[in-house]
Structure 1
Amino acid sequence: MQSVQIVLSLVAVATVVATFADRVSVPAPSLLVVAGILVGLLPVAERIHVTPEVVSLVVLPPLLYAAGEELSWRELKNLWRPVALLAVGLVLVSAAAVGYVTTLLTPMPLSVGFVLGAVLASTDPVAVTALGRRLSLPPRLQTLVQAESLFNDATSLILFRIAVAAAVAGGVAGWSGVAADFLLLAGGGALVGVLMAAVISFVRRRTEDPVLESVIALLTPYVTFVLAENVHASGVTAVIVTGVILGVRAHRLTNSGIRLQLTAVYGTLIFILESVVFSLIGIQLPGQIEELAGQPWIPAALVIAVVLVVVRVAWMFPLSAVQQWRGGGRIRPAWQVPAVVSWAGARGVVPLAAALSIPATLPHRPLLMVLTTSVIVISLVVQGFTLAPLVRLSGLAVAPDNTEYSSAKAHLSDVALTYIDELADLEAASPVALRRVRRSLEAQNELEQAPDELADAYGQLRRDVLAVQTAEVARLHGSGKISEETRRRLQLHLDRQDQRYLT
């Protein structure tokens, strides 16, 4: 009962913090971590013990799945090279740098230091997505940051599992063994993700019950994660792949009512999970510090946090210069994009999940936990509070493209009117119903006005028109004429209209 009360209290506190964060334009995760530290200093925090299963099994799968669904597949296909270099190359370099520095600053051997490096090497999709929601970055840049944070988590956690196995065995695994394990975990996870996406697509295309759809959507990340882990593949990779595939196919799998319901259900779930987990990151730190019995850790935590940023900057700026040179850019590359991408590399939930799963028998585990949590807190607070000002200073922030949105809406109206004309020419519908649909399409306040009585023919015809518009949205997006953000806004607009004409 105390655990339930604590979770409810954290959600209540998080709601207040999120409201305050909106007013002061500060990312909620950063304030939640600070609030968690303050709560951790209270006596009640002594009763809060987070098990690895709570984060890695209960919290992590739906957060990764939701982040994968938000990813733009079209942009990802255009950015796969830089994403791969960041998600694999930068993770390996960061893990090696942190592992080496850790051995210089702490009594940890290299094998244990490399475990810490693997834990902290990746950015966090939950934190990055939450931090990036209010930044209004260009679509390609937003996709780059989110895709990197998703796929480098898979790399980092696979590397972590290999590093832990080597550390427990008392040595460092050979490169051939590491490569083989990496391919097995990553390849197996990707395969499970593809198979699960196919199965879920098959089931959801034949399900029209909103309750069943909600249950299936909620269970999908958990079942995918457990299935992948049971076959000794990467559950994180499987969940990410499933989320990306189903996110692309979402508009084909369900109707408008279910899409709106799933948006509300998943939005609520993600808010609760993010609220609890970011608060728990802060709450864990005071108790972990007490377990060290006065061992010096602050200099090491600060240096490791700086090393992660320096390595990221040293990787990003040359990569950006090469990309610009290959694209025929200026001789002197711009600093804005690599600076923002470098500073957007916040750590968060995934490193916490990995750290909590470190075996109790591993030497220096308390110090590992403190360093991990400290670096996460430093990252979320320092980078979280300063990322938005950096984006504004860089001039990369873009206002919502209302022109594109308005133009696309006008185009959809034209498509609908053309469809009505075709039906009238073919005498394929009631003339009265056709006239009513035309008047409703031409009315400027159609969204605000809903007739008290709608004939069945009119309602069905109106929904057929919306189906044509939905198909046109998919065509415009597929041909690259509208962005992912515009597609989502238009689809929501059409889904809301569709619900008004259900018989």
Structure 2
Amino acid sequence: MRSVETVLALVAMATVVATFAKRLRVPAPSLLVVAGVVVGLLPGVPAVQVTPEIVSLVVLPPLLFAAGEELPWRDLRTVWRPVSILSVGLVLASAVAVGLVVVAITPMSLGVGLVLGAVLASTDPVAVTALGRRLSLPPRLQALVQAESLFNDATSLLVFRVAVSITVVGGAVSWGRTALDVVVLAVGGALAGAVVAVGVAVVRRRTEDPVLESVISLLTPYAAFVLAESVHTSGVTAVVVASVVLGTLAPRLTGAQGRLQQGAVYETVIFLLESVVFALIGLQLPALIREQTATGVMWPLYALAVTVTLLLVRVLWVFPLSALQQRRSGASRPSWQVPAVVSWAGARGVVPLAAALTIPATLPYRELVLLLTIAVIVITLVVQGFTLAPLVRRAGVALTPADVRTEEIMARRSLAQAGLGHLDDLADLEAAPTVVVEGLRRSWLARLHRIETDIESTEDSMSATYRTVRRSLLAVERDELHRLFGVGRISDATRRRIQRTLDLEDAGLEER
């Protein structure tokens, strides 16, 4: 019962915090972590213990799947080379650097330091995606930071398993065995994810019920994760591969009703899971601090040193790589803006937490490793989360609202012209009655006129007036719909169907 009360309290707190985050224009994950820490410091608040199964199996798969679905295959192909270098080289360099720093300043051994370094070496796709949603980054830059955070977990997990094996079991490193582990984890996980994606695509192609499609979509990340883990491969890689494949195929698998249903359901689920997990991260920190403070450990110094090490290694890795790429592309003088944003977009989050919770109890200094992991997660989410948007604005790499609006208007105009061209073809072939074609032509010409008005009007007054008048018409129709239902002339089912149609049209006006 206490667990249910805790979850409900976290959801309620997250709803309030998310509301204030939107009003304050700050990232919700960062504010949720701060709120969790504050609540955890209040007297009388019970200590929260999170089991590995809750994070790894319940929370992580759908969050990874949602992050992967937002990564277009077209953009991923353009950044695969730097992503490969960052996902392997930077992870290894970060793990080794943290291990050396831990040996130098803490009582922990090199093996334990490598375990901590492997846990924190990879950026977190959930945190990076959540922080990046509110930033209008160019497609290539967004794809780079998001793809790196999605694909560097296999390397981090491999280093983590090797470090745990050396430290806990006391085994020697076998390069042949390590190479085999790379193949099994990465390639095996990718194959498992591809198998699940193909199977789900076949099922969804034959499903027309939006509710069933939503259920299948919610079950997909769990199916990929469980299948991969059951054959001892990377469940994280399987979920990422399945999400990218299905995200690419989604327009051909789902109809309009299914997309609307899935969008509403998934946004709600992701909000709840992100809210709970980021709040839990903040709540866990005070209890761990009290335990370590009693032993006299200088954990704040350790956490700060590890965080600075991760940031310095990332900067020293990203800037030379960016300069080399810019020189190859013919740039006369390397710019700092893009590498600065990439370097600062390396927040840690749910994936490091899931890995830290699976550390065996026999590992020396396990509680200190868990405390440092959560402390570094909190520091990066707060510091980088609150300062990433100002850095993006200072660097000038974000798309301006005018750029976004111009691209959208161009697309809408192209769509309207394509529709008019299709009507001309229907009229030439006499494939539809003339009255139908002409009626639709007038409607599409009016749509094209509104788009052209958006382009020509710098003040957007005509477009705003059109939306205002049209929304007032929808309000009149809603009032009439409620009147008809109130006097008993229509059933509740009819009222709900028409209400949904009016709401969809109103939502379309809001998006525009």
Global fold match (TM > 0.5):
yes
Distance in 2 of aligned mates of 1:138 and 1:44: 47
* Aligned-residue offset at 1:392: 1.1
Distance in 2 of aligned mates of 1:45 and 1:252: 49
1:407 equivalent to 2:410? Answer: yes
Kept in 1, the 8 Å contact 2:225–2:236? The answer is: yes
Q: Which residue of 2 aligns with 1:382?
A: 383
Decide which of 438, 442, 450 is 1:439's aligned counterpart: 442
Deviations 1:269-291 (A, max 9, x none): 00000000000111111111222
Q: Which residue of 2 aligns with 1:214?
A: 214
1:350-361 map, 5 Å: 350-361=351-362
Letter in 1 for 2:196: M
Q: Which residue of 2 aligns with 1:422?
A: 425
1:104 equivalent to 2:107? Answer: no
Number of residue equivalences: 456
Q: Which residue of 2 aligns with 1:306?
A: 308
Letter in 1 for 2:280: L
1:149 equivalent to 2:152? Answer: no
Pair member with larger Rg:
2
Structure 1 window deviating more from structure 2 (417-426 vs 225-234): it is 417-426
1:125-274 map, 5 Å: 125-171=125-171, 173-274=173-274
* Aligned-residue offset at 1:329: 0.9
* Aligned-residue offset at 1:166: 2.5
Kept in 2, the 8 Å contact 1:163–1:172? The answer is: no
1:71 equivalent to 2:71? Answer: yes
Letter in 1 for 2:314: R
Distance in 2 of aligned mates of 1:172 and 1:341: 36
Distance in 2 of aligned mates of 1:104 and 1:174: 26
Q: Which residue of 1 aligns with 2:322?
A: 320
Q: Which residue of 1 aligns with 2:456?
A: none
Kept in 2, the 8 Å contact 1:158–1:234? The answer is: no
**Secondary structure, in 3 states, of the residue corresponding to 1:59?**
helix
**Identity of matched residues, %:** 64
Distance in 2 of aligned mates of 1:12 and 1:154: 34
Distance in 2 of aligned mates of 1:430 and 1:159: 67
* Runs of 5+ unmatched residues, structure 2: 451-465, 478-503
Distance in 2 of aligned mates of 1:339 and 1:415: 41
1:56 equivalent to 2:56? Answer: yes
Letter in 1 for 2:315: V
Distance in 2 of aligned mates of 1:253 and 1:328: 42
Deviations 1:70-110 (A, max 9, x none): 00211110110000011111001101111111111212111
Structure 1 window deviating more from structure 2 (419-428 vs 200-209): it is 419-428
**Secondary structure, in 3 states, of the residue corresponding to 1:249?**
helix
**Secondary structure, in 3 states, of the residue corresponding to 1:443?**
helix
* Aligned-residue offset at 1:126: 1.0
Q: Which residue of 2 aligns with 1:373?
A: 374
**Secondary structure, in 3 states, of the residue corresponding to 2:397?**
coil
**Secondary structure, in 3 states, of the residue corresponding to 2:364?**
coil
Distance in 2 of aligned mates of 1:418 and 1:102: 66
* Aligned-residue offset at 1:327: 0.7
* Runs of 5+ unmatched residues, structure 1: 453-495
Kept in 2, the 8 Å contact 1:225–1:235? The answer is: yes
Deviations 1:19-48 (A, max 9, x none): 111122211111111100011113454242
Deviations 1:148-176 (A, max 9, x none): 11111232123222322232212452333
Aligned Cα RMSD in Å? 2.0
**Secondary structure, in 3 states, of the residue corresponding to 1:161?**
helix
Normalising to structure 1: TM-score of the pair? Answer: 0.87
1:20-31 map, 5 Å: 20-31=20-31
Deviations 1:412-468 (A, max 9, x none): 11111111111122121122222222222122479958899xxxxxxxxxxxxxxxx
Distance in 1 of aligned mates of 2:183 and 2:167: 20
* Aligned-residue offset at 1:209: 1.1
Letter in 1 for 2:441: R
Kept in 1, the 8 Å contact 2:47–2:287? The answer is: no
Deviations 1:96-130 (A, max 9, x none): 11111111121211111111010000111111111
* Aligned-residue offset at 1:294: 2.4
**Secondary structure, in 3 states, of the residue corresponding to 1:122?**
coil
Distance in 2 of aligned mates of 1:355 and 1:396: 35
Q: Which residue of 2 aligns with 1:485?
A: none
Letter in 2 for 1:297: W
1:441-456 map, 5 Å: 441-444=444-447, 448=470
Q: Which residue of 1 aligns with 2:299?
A: 297
Distance in 2 of aligned mates of 1:171 and 1:107: 21
Normalising to structure 2: TM-score of the pair? Answer: 0.86
Kept in 1, the 8 Å contact 2:29–2:381? The answer is: yes
Distance in 1 of aligned mates of 2:198 and 2:424: 39
Kept in 2, the 8 Å contact 1:111–1:172? The answer is: no
Q: Which residue of 2 aligns with 1:461?
A: none
Letter in 2 for 1:318: P
Letter in 2 for 1:160: F
